[in-house]
Amino acid sequence: MDIKIKNLTKAYGNEVIYHDFSIKFPENKITGIMGPSGSGKTTLLNLLAGVTAPDDGIIEGVEDGKVSYIFQEDRLLPWRTVKQNLCFVLDKEQESMVTPILEMVGLAAYADYYPKALSGGMRQRVSIARAFCYPSSLLLMDEPFSSLDFELKDRLTEDFKRLWRQDPKTVIYVSHNRDELTKICNAIYLLKEKPVKIEKIT
């Protein structure tokens, strides 16, 4: 199902971030969102995730409990191993998918390691694997690779694309980096001004 935001308004105090804002995110496509700091990118993801409530308007097509998030920081549970971090979001019968997904991101040999024994790039690969283990239809990504160096970014982009091709989801991908978005996204929007106006840039 496409995700449709219709006539949404969201303000924090006197600061109106979105006013009568509408956009459609097509099903199983990757939509990129760019915009300057403070323009409302994270707010948009939080509205979609249901973490933030709109003041007005509607959001259609987000299935309850079927949203995954990948953040800039990995947010793994430090007291659980890699495998346990993945199993944590799954039902018992879904656990058989953990090993194949870890293989796809090249981390099968690290299944029993704790996050602190992995590099930052490896931990972020675990976050990506976790997002694809969870049976979500919507994946929200907030600057997922911005703390990584150039080579790692490329490696993780490839890992991400491989997983997404095998299990397409609707993805909303926030980044400051246009090159990163161009490599991954089917369409890219720029958030401008406040209240937000959008411009489709590809």
**Nearest distance from residue 175's CB to ligand ATP, in Å?**
9
Q: Does 38 bind ligand ATP (CB under 6 A)?
A: yes
Residues 83, 126: Cα–Cα separation, whole Å:
9
Given candidates 31, 39, 127, 136, which one binds ligand ATP under the rule CB under 6 A? 39
Give the interface size with ligand ATP as a residue count (CB under 6 A): 11
Rounded Cα distance between 42 and 140, Å, is 10
DSSP 62: P
Q: Minimum distance between the CB of residue 36 and ligand ATP, rounded to whole angstroms?
A: 7
From the CB of residue 170, how many other CB atoms can be counted at a distance below 10 Å?
23
Residues 57, 96: Cα–Cα separation, whole Å:
40
Is 142 in contact with 174 (CB distance < 8 Å)? Answer: yes
Closest CB to ligand ATP among residues 40, 121 = 40
Q: Which of 1, 7, 12, 60 binds ligand ATP (CB under 6 A)?
A: 12
Positions that interact with ligand ATP (CB under 6 A): 12, 15, 17, 35, 37-43
